[in-house]
Chains A and B, each alone.
Chain A
């Protein structure tokens, strides 16, 4: 079964600073990887996804992530944090279950942005 591990349950950055949220995966097959964002008391929204092809994936709101097979990582970055980026971020991987495919999420990283 696939799994993802997010390093750091909380990350705090200053406005304008680099955002780096870490995600490592374990997968026995080429993975399909996702980053989602969740604002308070809302559902999740897709930021970006890696399926095949280019390993640097660009998403919404200036975020991007790089798939590194040798490191089994899919870290999320943004060059300059904005106050509106404060939210919880989830890394996820697709997995094939006995009843169909499903998305497995990491524990999440809450991003705080300081003025």
Chain B
């Protein structure tokens, strides 16, 4: 069966420090991968998605970047964190079957920038 791992679960970082959040998927190949951010009371905002290695689509301009160095690995990064980067970050994957395929989510990373 497929599983998705996301770490760390919680993270407290000072303003201006770098960020690296990692997400890996097991049990499937060539998944679509997604990074979402959930801020308090604001729903889920799609940050990045990827249909293959090295292919990244960005939804909104921001202080973050994403990379997909391997088929089942998706990394969210920042060179210098801002206070506004605080939030709950969720990684998700979906099959390549089409738009009727649901997304499967990791457990999330709670990031607090201080």
Q: Which residues of A contact B (CB under 8 A)?
A: 9, 32, 34, 41-46, 49, 51-52, 90, 94-108
Residue of B nearest to A108 (CB): B43
B41: shortest Cβ distance to chain A, in Å?
A: 7
9-residue interface stretch from B13-21, B71-79, B98-106 = B98-106
In the A-B complex, the 3 residue pairs with the closest CB atoms: A99-B57, A43-B105, A107-B43
Closest to B103 in A: A103
Q: CB distance B110 to A101 under 8 Å? A: no
Q: How far is the CA of A95 from the CA of B46 in the complex (A)?
A: 12
Contacts known (A43-B107, A44-B90, A90-B43); A102 close to B102, Cβ less than 8 A: no
B59 to chain A: which residues have CB within 8 Å?
102
CB pair B99 A32 closer than 8 Å = yes
- Which applies to chain B's interface (DSSP): helix, strand, loop or mixed? strand
B102 surroundings in chain A (CB, below 8 A) = 34, 46, 49, 103
Contacts of B74-93 to chain A: CB distance below 8 A = 88, 90, 92
Which listed residue, B100, B105, B106, touches A94 by the CB 8 Å rule? B100
Which B residue sits closest to A98, measured CB to CB? Answer: B57
Closest to A9 in B: B41
Cβ contacts B35-74/A at 8 Å (1 or 0 each):
0100001111010011100011101000000000000000
Q: How far is the CA of A9 from the CA of B42 in the complex (A)?
A: 9
Q: Write out the residue numbers on chain B whose beta carbons fall within 8 Å of the beta carbon of A34.
A: 102
Query: Are B98's CB and A101's CB within 8 A?
Result: yes
Query: Hey, which chain B residues are within 8 Å of A46, CB to CB?
Result: 102-104
The chain A residue sitting closest to B91, CB to CB, is A43
Closest residue of chain B to A49 (Cβ to Cβ) is B102
Q: Is the CB of B44 within 8 A of A100?
A: no
Residues of B near A104 (CB, < 8 A) are 46
- Interchain CB contact (< 8 A) of B106 among A32, A43, A52, A105: A43
Check B57–A43 contact: CB distance below 8 A. Answer: no
